A and B are shown apart, each in its own frame.
Chain A
Amino acid sequence: MNTKDALIKYCTRLADNNLILGQRLAEWCSRGPILEEDLAMTNISLDLFGEAESIYEYISTLTDNHLSADDIAFLRSEREYSNTLLVELPNGDFAYTMAKQFLYASFAKLLYTSLLNSNDETLKGLSEKALKEVKYHIRHSSEWLIRFGNGTSESKTRVQNALNDIWKYTDDMFEMDEVDNELISTGIAFDLKDIYTQWNFSVSEILKEAKLTKPSNGLSIKGGYKGIHTEHLGHILTEMQYLQRAHPGAKW
């Protein structure tokens, strides 16, 4: 695989992660547990859409097929999306959503931090901006985990169940293939094994503070980066792509 193709694939994974998680969070709109929280989740969703858009725009400049950021975001089929599985999982209750947010944001923070050393100037620049946002996302979600773990027995049960359920999708974030190998060899991206070690440590610290048990590594479901998704993604896309598909070529 040449470097440019690898870079396009790598960026698509990153952009899709942001887009799909942003879309999931937007589902909370007018459904938050308290008005203040509705606004907080919207802010995070807006950050994620903004990050997605910047990365799709970059991808658009890397390809020769004249596709715009919107074309890339809206007009692919399920198998062409390469987000990690965790971000497409349904929201569940508020504890489930916060657990997803926390586990993903902890990964994203380390990933963007590593990319500050990337040889690719655009990727480096995007990461600098995203890093500030994602640090806040960790703050927001980790504090909810700590509240739930030290709150009522109901909240503790809910958040522990959420973690137990989501855990099997976390390995997928750290999967590597020829895309990563190519970019590691050219100094554009970095080894996700190192990021996994740090992720494991920082997640454990918060779970300790939240008095929650880190689920044991058992079943592991993977395939997002290769376009092998859960059945949930298709439904997200059906809704998201509706107008683009129903009115091909229309400008909005």
Chain B
Amino acid sequence: MNEEQKLNQFQARIDADEKIEPRDWMPDGYRKTLIRQMSQHAHSEVIGMQPEGNWVLRAPSLRAKKILLAKIQDEGGHGLYLYSATETLGIDRTEMIEQLQQGNAKYSSVFNYPTLNWADIGAIGWLVDGAAIVNQTMLAKCSYGPYSRAMLRICKEEGFHQRQGYEIMGKMMTGTQAQREMAQDAMNRWWWPALMMFGPHDSESAHSQESMKWKIKVESNDKLRQRFVNRTVEQAHHIGLTVPDPLLSYNKETLNWSFGPINWDEFWSIVKGNGPCNEQRMSHHIKYHNEGAWVREAALAFEENLTKKQTVSI
């Protein structure tokens, strides 16, 4: 079979909604796109541990402490599932981490904002995880088997993430004046970054078309963003939070909440590394990765010493 026949056969499988598995033939572009997107997704989960970790020692109750710690742990676990799924494409985790630390791989820009009060933990769970779930539910239907399976597991586990965030916000909105102010402040700072998580408008999105053809994405950025807005605006109003968008209005014909323009300059500036926490997140990652190097060396040396000993005794 020549390349073109292979490509046609591949596209036919995609069109028939078959899943592609690691050992199947796939075009280079498909593999590369998946590696880029999946490793970025994995890095996002791992870097996402930092802004939430910023509050784990200050959580205000034993219950809150346990929930937050378990949630951050889930993020780490999800990073791990995604690294494993990406490894099936022929890249190992060492290399992915190198790419991240050298700035050749990205992670979600939303984690480059600081967490400044306890309500930020609520806002991250409710808005950031809420946006992520909309995206991940779509990705669970993607054509690459290992990615789709990882997403299914992640969606199942993240069921509680958004709810715990909304619960924090709801509790604070029925609390003291100071608590209500903190909740609204967090809402004001996280609303727009959450909308940006869906990426540029479809008309501006560099990778969208090909990804749709290959069913790496099955719905467009704008459609997913709208779904998130529709769900979330009503949740915000329900607990008395104001959405920080003067142009927000309900469109009775389309049944959608229409919203004001997104500040794409801010988005691209953060993507390019100029966000408030880009440097901090990366230097944290590098510092603790390097500090763990002797541990990893020791563990491997132990295993080698053990194997040597066993070989000698035979």
Which residues in A have some Cβ–Cβ distance to B below 8 Å?
A: 23, 26-27, 29-39, 42-43, 45-46, 49-50, 52-53, 56, 69-70, 73-74, 93-95, 146-148, 150-152, 154-155, 158, 239-240, 242-244, 247, 249-252
**Is A49 within 8 A of B66, CB to CB?**
yes
Once A73-B62, A240-B58 are accepted as A-B contacts, the answer to whether A250 and B176 lie under 8 Å apart by CB is yes
Query: Distance in Å from the Cβ of A30 to the closest Cβ of chain B?
Result: 4
Of the 9-residue stretches B19-27, B204-212, B294-302, which lies at the interface with chain A?
Answer: B294-302
Q: Which of B8-16, B72-80, B188-196 contacts A (4 or more CB under 8 A)?
A: B72-80
Known interface pairs A56-B62, A155-B295. Does A251 touch B175 (Cβ–Cβ under 8 Å)? yes
CB pair B298–A155 under 8 Å, yes or no, is yes
CB neighbours of A39 from chain B (8 A): 73, 76-77, 80
Shortest C-beta distance, A143 to chain B (Å), equals 10
How would residues 283 to 314 of chain B score, 1 for a CB under 8 Å from any chain A CB and 0 otherwise?
Answer: 01000100111111111011001100000000
Q: Which residue, of A32, A37, A151, A239, has the highest number of chain B Cβ atoms within 10 A?
A: A151
Give the Cβ gap from B113 to chain A, nearest Cβ, in Å: 16
Q: Is the CB of B72 within 8 A of A30?
A: yes
Sample of 26 A–B contacts (CB below 8 Å): A29-B53, A30-B49, A30-B50, A30-B284, A31-B288, A33-B293, A34-B295, A35-B79, A39-B77, A39-B80, A46-B70, A49-B65, A53-B62, A53-B63, A69-B62, A94-B295, A150-B302, A152-B297, A152-B298, A239-B58, A243-B59, A243-B60, A243-B118, A247-B178, A250-B176, A252-B175
What are the residues of chain A within 8 A of B118 when measuring CB–CB? 243, 252
Instruction: Report B19-74 residues with CB < 8 Å from chain A CB.
Output: 46, 49-50, 53, 56-66, 69-70, 72-73
Further 5 A-B residue pairs, CB within 8 A, beyond A155-B295, A252-B60: A26-B57, A35-B76, A53-B63, A148-B298, A150-B305
Chain B interface secondary structure, helix, strand, loop or mixed? helix
Q: A32-B288, A240-B57 are in contact. Are A49 and B62 (CB under 8 A)?
A: yes
- Could you say which residues of chain A place their CB within 8 Å of the CB of B292? 32-34, 37, 94
Is B151 engaged at the interface, CB distance under 8 Å to the other chain? no
| In the complex, chain A residues whose CB is within 8 Å of the CB of B175 | 250-252
Q: How far is the CB of B79 from chain A (nearest CB, A)?
A: 6
Q: Does B179 contact A (CB under 8 A)?
A: yes
Q: What residues on A are CB-neighbors of B295 within 8 Å?
A: 33-34, 37, 94-95, 155
Chain A residues, CB < 8 A from B139:
none
Asked whether, in the complex, the Cβ of B56 is within 8 Å of the Cβ of A152, the reply is no
A93 touches B76 (CB 8 A): no
B residues contacting the other copy or chain, number (CB 8 A): 47
- The smallest beta-carbon distance between A203 and chain B, in angstroms, is 20
B174 nearest CB neighbor, chain A only: A251
Query: Once the chains bind, are B57 and A45 in contact (CB under 8 Å)?
Result: no
B245 to chain A, nearest CB (A): 28
Interface pair B179/A23, CB less than 8 Å apart: no
Expressed in whole angstroms, the minimum distance between the Cβ of B254 and any Cβ of chain A is 39
State which of B49, B50, B73 has its C-beta within 8 Å of the C-beta of A43.
B73
Query: What is the CB-to-nearest-CB distance from B54 to chain A, in angstroms, rounded to a whole number?
Result: 9
| Residues in A neighbouring B302, C-beta threshold 8 A | 146-148, 150-151
For A23, A30, A32, A158, the residue with the greatest tally of chain B CB atoms inside 10 Å of its CB is A30
Smallest Cβ distance from A68 to chain B, in angstroms? 9
B168 at the A interface (CB under 8 A): yes
CB nearest neighbor in B for A42: B73
B-side contacts of A36, CB under 8 Å: 80
Nearest 3 A/B pairs, CB to CB: A33-B292, A151-B298, A155-B298
Contact among A150, A152, A252 for B294, CB-based, below 8 A: A152
Q: Considering the complex, give the chain A residue whose CB is closest to the CB of B293.
A: A33
A154–B53 touching, CB < 8 Å: no
Neighbouring B residues of A46 by C-beta, 8 Å:
66, 69-70, 73
State in angstroms the CA–CA spacing of A247 and B64 once bound together.
16
What chain B residues lie within 8 Å of A148 (beta carbons)?
298, 302
A98 to chain B, nearest CB (A): 9
Residues of A within 8 A of B127 (CB): none
Task: Judge whether B149 is part of the interface by a CB distance below 8 angstroms.
Answer: no
Docked-complex contact A50 and B66, CB < 8 angstroms: yes
Partner of B69 from the list A45, A74, A239 (CB cut-off 8 Å) is: A45
What's the least CB distance linking B234 to chain A, in Å? 24
Question: Would you call A35 and B62 a contact (CB within 8 A)?
Answer: no
- A52 partner residues in chain B, CB cutoff 8 A: 62
Contacts of A27 in B (CB 8 A): 57
* Interchain CB contact (< 8 A) of B64 among A31, A155, A252: A252
Which residues in A have their C-beta under 8 angstroms from that of B61? 70, 74, 252
Asked if B171 and A251 make an inter-chain contact with CB atoms under 8 angstroms apart, the answer reads: yes
Q: Name the A residues within 8 Å of B168 (CB-CB).
A: 252
B179 adjacent to A247 (CB under 8 Å): yes
B155 at the interface (CB under 8 A from A): no
Residues of A within 8 A of B53 (CB): 29-30
Shortest A58–chain B CB gap in Å is: 13
- Name the distance in Å between B118's Cβ and chain A's nearest Cβ: 6
A contact residues around B65 at 8 Å (CB): 26, 49
